[in-house]
Amino acid sequence: MKKLLLIALCVGIVPMASYGFIYEAKILKKWNSQTNRYQWFIGLSDFHSKTHEANNAQLAHIDAILAKCDKKRTKVLIEDLSSAGSDGQQACGRFMVNSRGGILGGLVQACQEKQFDVENVEYRFCRVSSLGPVLNNVNKSPHIFPSVKAINVASLAQEIDAIANEINNYEDGHVLRRYYDKELGYINKQMAVFYDHHHLSAADFVEHHSTDENRRAYLNKLLTFDSGLMDTRVVHAVVNDDDHDFFLFIGGGAHIGRVSSALKENVHFESVYETKVHNAKEHDLSKCGSTPIVDKKYCVRPAAIDVKAAVAVLFAPTHAPPA
């Protein structure tokens, strides 16, 4: 009980006065009989926003956390559109995503400079390049944006197909194979639509399949319908790595939640601690980003957690085997 209380205090469950990005932390562990050590999964949930006042303070705290980590025993997994993915891709043709800022933008490079083993699980460079400008300007014609006019639907499909083929080649046992196949199955319907309209530009595709009234919701769907593929990449990275004891995943909160559930349900990780999410209404719609707007008046955003001493479990965990 004392150990659990210590972890709770160090993760920082007290909300800050402001609203912002790292708004949830999840800690899981599993005894690895191959190494005779615990493996730890630490997930930090990011709320995407580049301009929030909590950013700089939280980045400083994350920097302090990383400074204390054992680099040889820690692997960092990040969802970062501003850095090259694990396959080296960082752009879609001549278009790159301007996603520097916030918590995630540029975090891969920062961790690499600190000599951590880092894997960027992001891969949606074409999709964000072609749909992001419209999402941020839903009242404007998609055809006024160069990347939206130039990138075709075939590029969007190819980008996803590459990841699907990667996942199809995972050999992580029959239990995880069922999980991977289930996630792959979720994308089939939308991928069929992409294949049928592969010749269209992203601008024509968006105009053909959405209206002014439902465009924001439709774009959010296109940007997230395959989110489970990113989750499987994280799960695969964790279960295939006996060289590291600590896996720190910093990404969107939905990914953190689903990866944590997958590790518990399929790989027998157990939950050690998780913070509570505190939500509040945001009436400044310019700060809502892709968060759904309610009655054209507000969105619901989570409160930032205090990450000053976050994830102390990284520094002094118990190494005693389970009873």
CA distances from 215 to 5, 136, 138, 261 (A): 46, 11, 7, 31
92 band by pLDDT with thresholds 50, 70 and 90 = confident
What mean pLDDT is predicted for residues 130-157?
94
What SS3 state is found at 307? coil
Residue 300: predicted pLDDT: 84
pLDDT of 309-319, one tens digit each? 445 544 545 55
pLDDT of 214-243, one tens digit each? 998 999 999 999 999 999 999 999 999 999
pLDDT of 283-315, one tens digit each? 887 767 667 788 888 888 777 776 654 455 445
Note if the pTM is more than 0.85.
no
Residue 108: predicted pLDDT: 80
Q: Give strand pairing partners of 119.
A: 77
Q: Tell whether the model's pLDDT for residue 244 goes beyond 80.
A: yes
Q: What kind and span of H or E run contains 17? A: strand 15-19
Candidate from 53-67, 210-224, 240-254, 308-322 with smallest mean pLDDT = 308-322
Structure-model confidence comparison of residues 180 and 89, the more confident one: 180
323 band by pLDDT with thresholds 50, 70 and 90 = low
Residue 57: predicted pLDDT: 67
User: What is the domain partition of the chain in residue ranges?
Assistant: 2-313
Candidate from 12-26, 155-169, 215-229, 267-281 with smallest mean pLDDT = 12-26
Structure-model confidence comparison of residues 231 and 55, the more confident one: 231
Rounded CA separation 115/133 (Å)? 34
What mean pLDDT is predicted for residues 21-29?
84
2 band by pLDDT with thresholds 50, 70 and 90 = very low
**Vertex 241: Cα angle to 238 and 244 (nearest 5):** 95
Rounded CA separation 57/292 (Å)? 27
Rounded CA separation 25/65 (Å)? 14
Burial of residue 296 (number of CB atoms within 10 Å: 0-12, 13-18, 19+): exposed
